[in-house]
Structure 1
Amino acid sequence: MLFESARISFRKMTLEDIPIYHSWRNDLEVMRTTLPMLDLHTFESTTDFVTQVILGSPTSKSYLILEKETQKPIGITSLVHIDPKNRNAECIIDIGEKAYWGKGFGKEALKLLLDYAFLEMNLHRVSLRVFSFNENATSLYEKLGFKHEGRSRQAIFREGKWHDILHMGILQEEW
C-alpha cells in the first residue's frame, strides 16, 4: 500500500498529536541532529508551530510515522518547500521515540516518503540537509541514493564546535 510498509504506516498529523510531538520537540537528544538552534518550547509554541507550519502550510505534507502493530507514533516525516512548477521538495525525517533508533525504521519511512514523492507526486528532485556530525543519517541517505551536492561550511554551532551542513539530493530517475 502507498502509506505503509512491513513495520510502519503513515497518517496525517492532527491536533491530538501535539502532546507527543511536544515531547519529542523538547527532548534535546532527539532534536540535537535536527534543529539549527536547540531550545525548550512551551506547549503553546509547539501548538502554534504544528497549526501554522505542519498543518497549515500549503507547500508541505507531513505524516506521523506509526509502528504498525501497536499504532504507536514513533516519529514524523515531511516533504517541505514543495515546488510544483519545478517538481522539487525537501524531505525531513525525525524518529522521536529513541527506542526505535538504529533499527531501520527511519530507512523504511524514508523509502515510503520517496515512493510517494516520485511515484505519486511525480517530483523530479528531493533534497535534504544534514549536519556533518550526523554520520548515521548521512550513511543512510547515501545508501538510499542521495548524492552530495554541497556544504555550508561551519554553518552550525553545536556542543562547542562548528559543523558543516551537508546538502544532498536524489533525482526521480535515480530512485
Structure 2
Amino acid sequence: MLFESSRIRLRKMTHEDTELYHTWRNDMDVMQTTNPSLDVYSLEETKVFVDQVILGAHSAKSYIMVDKINETPIGVVSLILIDYKNRNAECIIDIGEKEYWGKGYGSEGLKLLLDYAFYEMNLHRVSLKVFSFNDRAIHLYKKIGFQQEGVIRECLFREGKWVDIIQMGILQDEYFNK
C-alpha cells in the first residue's frame, strides 16, 4: 500500500505526535466542526486518549497527514470501530493546520485512507458522522461517493441552536465503481 498522493503522505501516528495532536484537539476552530463536546483537554487527558483510544485500540488505525514538500504534519485520518468480522469501520478526518483548509488536502487524505480500507483491508463499508452545518465536509464526502444514510436529529447544541448529525456511508463496490 502506497500511503502518498501528489502532495501528502500518511504515516502512522505515534506517541511523539501527542503534543501536536493536543494542540489541534484544543483549537476551537478545528474542533468546531468535528468534536461534539468542544471541551478543553489537559495534556494528561490527551495522553490518555492517544494511548487508549488512538494507539491502544485494536479496532483503530490512525495516520498523520504530512505535507510532502515541507514535511509539516497537517492533520489526522483514522479508521475507528473497526469490525473485522463484518468488514466495517468508521472514519474520521481532522485538518489541524488551518492554512491547509479548503485546498483539497482533506480530500487527498480521505482518499488515501479509503484506498487502504477497501483495497488493503478489504472492508465492505466505511461510515462517518458529520455535523449538518458543515457544508464543505458534506460536499467533499458526497463527491467521494458517500451517501447519506440517516440523521440523528437535534443532538448537538452549537451557537445557540440545535443541529443534526448526519450519518453517511460508502460501500466497497461503490468506491471501486465511482
Structure 2 length-normalised TM: 0.97
Distance 1:63 1:156 in 2: 27
Deviations 1:96-133 (A, max 9, x none): 00000000000000000000000000000000000000
Give, in angstroms, the shift of residue 161 of structure 1: 0.7
Partner of 2:66: 66
Partner of 2:156: 156
After TM superposition, the structure 1 = structure 2 runs for residues 61-100 of structure 1, keeping only pairs within 5 Å, are 61-100=61-100
**Unaligned 5+ runs, structure 1:** none
Deviations 1:66-119 (A, max 9, x none): 001111110000000000111000000000000000000000000000000000
Amino acid at match of 1:53: V
Partner of 1:134: 134
Distance 1:161 1:78 in 2: 29
Deviations 1:25-60 (A, max 9, x none): 110010001111111111111111111111000101
Distance 2:37 2:50 in 1: 18
Distance 1:16 1:116 in 2: 23
* SS at 2:69 equivalent: coil
Count of residue correspondences:
175
Q: CA RMSD in A?
A: 0.7
Pair 1:35-2:35 in alignment: yes
Distance 1:15 1:171 in 2: 32
Give, in angstroms, the shift of residue 2 of structure 1: 1.6
Distance 1:2 1:149 in 2: 30
Give, in angstroms, the shift of residue 19 of structure 1: 1.2
Name segments (4+ residues, structure 1) moved above 3 Å.
none
* SS at 1:138 equivalent: helix
Distance 2:80 2:19 in 1: 22
**Unaligned 5+ runs, structure 2:** none
* SS at 1:71 equivalent: coil
Give, in angstroms, the shift of residue 159 of structure 1: 1.1
Partner of 2:170: 170
